[in-house]
Amino acid sequence: MRLPRPPRDTVSAGPLRRPVASPAVGAQSHIRRAIAAAGEARAHAGLAAETPAGDVLTVVEDRLGLPVLFAPIEPLAGAHLRRAGGSLIVVSSVDAAVRRRFTIAHELGHDRLHDRPLQLDGAYQLVDLSDPIESCANHFAAHFLAPDAALERFLDEQPSREPTLELIARAANRFAISALAACIRLKVLGALGDHPERIERLERESRDGTHLRCFERLGLDDLDDRCARIGSGELRVPPAAAASMLTAYAEGALDGAALTAAIGAEPAALEAALGSAATSSRATA
C-alpha cells in the first residue's frame, strides 16, 4: 500500500501532518529514555544544552560519524540502515529543508535507540505516537533539535511570552524547524498556556500556512545550511556510503527484493512502505 504524499513547501513542510494521540502512561519511561538519549547525543556532538542544533547534517556526519544519503525516495521520508560496517541514514531530497532536518534527527534516534537492521519511515511514521519505536524516535528528534533548555532561553530573549503565531514563527526560525513542530514543542513546554481553543487555533494556523504571513512580515528566512542547499530530487551520496546497498538502490541498480535480501530483511516490508508501483519501477528501470 502506498503511503500518501503530504504537501510540501519551503517553510511550512514539517514532521507533523495530522492530529496524534498522546502516548500511553506505560510509554513514559521509553519517552524519558529517548529524551535522555537526545541529550547524550547532543553532548557527544559538542552542542550546548541551551543552543539550537544548527547545521544538523554537519553535526550528524562530521561530529557523530553517521553518513547521510539524500535521494528522491518518496513516498518514504527517510530510512536507517544498520550494517556490519556501520550505519547509514537516508533522507528524501524531495522534502523541504525543515522536514529533512527532522528526518535526520528522527533516523539518528533510531540509530541510538533501536537495533533493527532496516527502518523505513514514511510521512506518518514521523507523526506516530502510538508505535513505541516511532514515538521514541520522534521525541528524540524533537529534543535533539529543540531541547527544553534552548527553548527556555529563546523565550527569555523574547520581548513578550504571549502565546501568538508570531512567537511560534520566531521559534521555528530559531531552531530551523517547521512552524507546526515549533508549536508542538512550545505546547509541550507549557508556553502556549492552557486554553484549548487558542492552542487548537495556533496549531491549525501553523499547519495551514497562515504562519507564512508572520515569516514575511518579520523578514524570517530559513537557515542556509547544507540541508537547504541540496536540490529538490538531488542524489547526494556521502563518501562513506558510496558502496552501500542502499546507495545502489537509490541509483536504481538494485530493486527492493535484492536490497532487502542483501541485508536480511523481508522484501514485503520494503514493498509495504514504498508501494508496489515504486518497487516495480525500480526493478524495471
pLDDT of residue 242: 60
What is the percentage of the chain residues whose pLDDT exceeds 70? 72
**Contact partners, residue 167, CB within 8 Å, separation at least 6:** 158, 160, 161, 186, 191
How far apart CA 101 and CA 53 sit, in angstroms, is: 10
Whether the predicted model's global pTM rises above the 0.85 cut: no
Q: 150 with 58: CB under 8 angstroms?
A: no
pLDDT of residue 250: 57
Apex CA 84: angle with CA 40 and CA 106, to 5°? 40
* Residue 119, beta-bridge partner list: 80
pLDDT of residue 236: 87
Which has the minimum average pLDDT: 43-52, 116-125, 199-208?
116-125
Apex CA 106: angle with CA 150 and CA 155, to 5°? 15
How far apart CA 20 and CA 271 sit, in angstroms, is: 25
Return the higher-pLDDT residue of 237 and 141: 141
pLDDT mean over 34-55:
97
pLDDT mean over 56-77:
91
Q: What is the pLDDT of residues 157-185, one digit of tens each?
A: 999 999 999 999 999 999 999 999 999 99
Residue pointed to by grid coordinates 502565546: 163
For residue 270, is pLDDT > 60? Answer: no
Q: What is the pLDDT of residues 139-149, one digit of tens each?
A: 999 999 999 99
Count of alpha carbons within 13 angstroms of residue 134, beta-carbon side: 21
pLDDT mean over 250-268:
51
pLDDT of residue 235: 84
Apex CA 133: angle with CA 29 and CA 235, to 5°? 140
Does the bond joining 75 to the residue before it have cis omega, within 30 degrees of 0?
yes
Amino acid letter at 209?
Answer: G
Phi, psi (deg, nearest 5) at residue 9: -155, 180
- Where does the pLDDT of residue 246 fall: very low under 50, low under 70, confident under 90, or very high at 90 and above? low
